[in-house]
A and B are shown apart, each in its own frame.
Chain A
Amino acid sequence: MNMNHALLNNRAAHNNETKLKTEQVSLFYGTFQALRNISLDIREKAITAIIGPSGCGKSSFLRLFNRMNDLIIGARVDGRVVIDDTNIYDRDIDVVELRKRVGMVFQKPNPFPMSVLENVAFGPRRHGKKNRHELEGIVERSLRQAALWDEVKDKLGQSALALSGGQQQRLCIARVLAVEPEVILMDEPCSALDPIATLRIEDLMRSLSSDYTIVIVTHNMQQAARVSDMAAFLMMEKDRAGILVEYGPTSQIFTNPQDKRTEDYITGRFG
């Protein structure tokens, strides 16, 4: 598999703090169990990839960290999901504050039907920033961080829907960056994009990972191998509940998996 081991090893040594972790987490939708007893430590300022066959609960798992599953009627979580020593499923947690710290980028680019500028300024505005100069500064900084500034600096006032798919996705990343999160969750962020746009997003993820903790769900094995530092392999049990099979440095998961099921999946024997 084609990846830069030197870079990976260097990065892996960079930081070993745990930013997020799940402790014996199970997720239920009504009576259906979607995830079973998953315990996982996610490192700060690194990219963690969640891989596994369709329907194994990858997205549901990702949505634990910003409590997006709360939007689904009947969803229930057992166990703990911890960010910096705080269990985010505690009763006194302000979900709105949590989502400022834990941003999310979705599968399909979803810019709002507004101008490029208003899309990026949307979060800061809602969080009370009104000063025009300050907002413009945030917009420029976020668009630069998202490697989009040069392409859109002359059309900040134009509709975001006129941008290409890849640009829209980077705009969505800029929209998340504008609220200064600590964690960025990405739910198959490239599945609607062409290969070139995909590579640009991957480059962007690498550059963002020096400042942000990134968790990405992907069904693209090459992508997981290319961008991630750590990889977690999930799969379904017979009752269709997702379990964690193996978790470790990406290089190990892809070159020397410890579990037979991981090996079968990586080598394309199923999934």
Chain B
Amino acid sequence: MAALTISRRELTQRTAFSLLVLATAIVTVPVLFIIIYIVVNGAGALSWEFLTQAPSQAGKAGGIFPAIVGTFYLMLGTLIFSLPVGVLAGIYLTEYARANWLTRLINMAILNLAGVPSIVYGLFGLGLFVLAMKFGMSLLAASLTLACQALAMTITTSREAVIAVPREYREGSLAIGTTKWQTIRHVILPQALPGVITGTILAMSRAAGETAPILVVGAAFILPGLPTSPFDQFMALPYHLYTAAAHVPGMSKVTIWGIALVLLVVVLSFNSLAVFIRIRVRQRRFGS
């Protein structure tokens, strides 16, 4: 008869379980710490003036309104340029491209796009959009640059969303004499759209947080007013934060943490929106 003490197997199980908990804690605790730290330190900077005024005295006074607006413009620009191309490319690659070495090469290239360092995108944008296409240092050039970076994600998520549409729907549609395009347009696309939108929002929020690429294609630290055309320079939260923290002597720490807090709120709220949409869609699909 086995002894009623803790066996070796039981001990192994407990050790393994503890390791799993530890690993999860290692991931979670620093994130929570960073968020709490930023909130605690930055909350003091938040005021109506901080959120609605332009900066003055090299950012030491006034607010960050133009940087907030600039960041939203960048997200919008990224959306406009990356969503259509991402969706169309995703559809092409899943529905039309033949399964051959060229398609595999393209798919691999797209996956690798996600791994290209963001400053390389910045230099690419500088060369192509700012100089060759003569858009200058501008909102337009920055949006296009960020859109290029976002494409890796929008194409990949679009492909996955299109592939996830059950085969039964395609067959049901084709079997009543619709064309391939009608099936894509009226059956596959509506089904894939929530997935596509989720991916695009995540790509946008990533674009909102980027500093390196916009550094070289049009972001400015201080501008007197908001951009009035796509060819104007612009302010953006991450770049403003970087410059305020690294290059302005005598900058108040509270203001720096305040900028970080606003940026964090913008990025996290878009990420939450993406998660929310995903949950809603899942409920609708598997619920009643």
**Interface residues as binary, B173-212 with A (CB distance below 8 Å gives 1, 0 otherwise):** 1111111001000110001000000000000000000000
In the complex, what residues of B have CB within 8 A of residue A68's CB? 171, 174-175
In the complex, what residues of B have CB within 8 A of residue A134's CB? none
Indicate whether A195 reaches chain B with its CB closer than 8 angstroms. Answer: no
Given contacts A96-B178, A104-B176, A176-B175, 4 further A-B contacts (CB under 8 A): A104-B171, A110-B169, A111-B172, A159-B288
A/B pair count, beta carbons within 8 Å = 67
Tally of contact residues, B, Cβ under 8 A = 19
Interface residues of A in 114-167 (CB under 8 A from B): 122-123, 126-127, 159, 162
Q: How far is the CA of A112 from the CA of B178 in the complex (A)?
A: 14
Check B182 against A126 for contact (C-beta < 8 Å): yes
Q: Kindly identify which residue among A66, A108, A112, A126 contacts B175, using a CB–CB cutoff of 8 Å.
A: A66
Q: How far is the CB of A61 from chain B (nearest CB, A)?
A: 16
Indicate whether B99 reaches chain A with its CB closer than 8 angstroms. Answer: yes
Q: How far is the CB of A129 from chain B (nearest CB, A)?
A: 13
In the complex, what residues of A have CB within 8 A of residue B177's CB? 96-101, 103, 123, 126-127, 179
- Considering the complex, give the chain A residue whose CB is closest to the CB of B185: A126
Chain B residues at the A interface, C-beta cutoff of 8 Å: 99, 166, 168-169, 171-179, 182, 186-187, 191, 285, 288
Q: How far is the CA of A127 from the CA of B186 in the complex (A)?
A: 13
- Considering the complex, give the chain B residue whose CB is closest to the CB of A105: B175
- Considering the complex, give the chain A residue whose CB is closest to the CB of B284: A113
Check A123 against B169 for contact (C-beta < 8 Å): no
Q: How far is the CB of A170 from chain B (nearest CB, A)?
A: 14
Q: How far is the CA of A179 from the CA of B168 in the complex (A)?
A: 19
In the complex, what residues of B have CB within 8 A of residue A96's CB? 177-179
Q: How far is the CB of A25 from chain B (nearest CB, A)?
A: 20
In the complex, what residues of A have CB within 8 A of residue B288's CB? 159, 162
In the complex, what residues of A have CB within 8 A of residue B176's CB? 99-100, 103-104, 122-123, 126, 175-176, 178-179
Check B174 against A110 for contact (C-beta < 8 Å): no
User: If A112-B187, A122-B186, A162-B288 touch, does A103 touch B175 (CB 8 Å cutoff)?
Assistant: yes
Q: How far is the CA of A175 from the CA of B175 in the complex (A)?
A: 10
Tally of contact residues, A, Cβ under 8 A = 29
- Considering the complex, give the chain B residue whose CB is closest to the CB of A66: B175
User: If A112-B187, A113-B191 touch, does A104 touch B178 (CB 8 Å cutoff)?
Assistant: no
Q: How far is the CA of A100 from the CA of B175 in the complex (A)?
A: 8
Q: Kindly identify which residue among B166, B175, B179, B191 contacts A104, using a CB–CB cutoff of 8 Å.
A: B175
- Considering the complex, give the chain B residue whose CB is closest to the CB of A111: B172
Chain A residues at the B interface, C-beta cutoff of 8 Å: 66, 68, 71, 73, 96-101, 103-104, 106, 108, 110-113, 122-123, 126-127, 159, 162, 172, 175-176, 178-179
In the complex, what residues of A have CB within 8 A of residue B186's CB? 122, 126
Q: How far is the CA of A127 from the CA of B171 in the complex (A)?
A: 17
Check A110 against B171 for contact (C-beta < 8 Å): yes
In the complex, what residues of B have CB within 8 A of residue A127's CB? 177
Q: How far is the CA of A71 from the CA of B223 in the complex (A)?
A: 58
**7 residue pairs from A and B, CB less than 8 Å apart:** A68-B174, A104-B175, A106-B171, A110-B166, A113-B191, A113-B285, A126-B182
Q: How far is the CB of A188 from chain B (nearest CB, A)?
A: 13
Q: How far is the CA of A73 from the CA of B103 in the complex (A)?
A: 15
The 8 closest A-B pairs by CB, nearest first: A100-B177, A110-B168, A99-B177, A104-B175, A123-B176, A110-B172, A126-B178, A126-B182
- Considering the complex, give the chain A residue whose CB is closest to the CB of B183: A126
Check A123 against B172 for contact (C-beta < 8 Å): no
Check B99 against A73 for contact (C-beta < 8 Å): yes
- Considering the complex, give the chain B residue whose CB is closest to the CB of A161: B288
Q: How far is the CA of A111 from the CA of B173 in the complex (A)?
A: 10
Check A71 against B175 for contact (C-beta < 8 Å): no
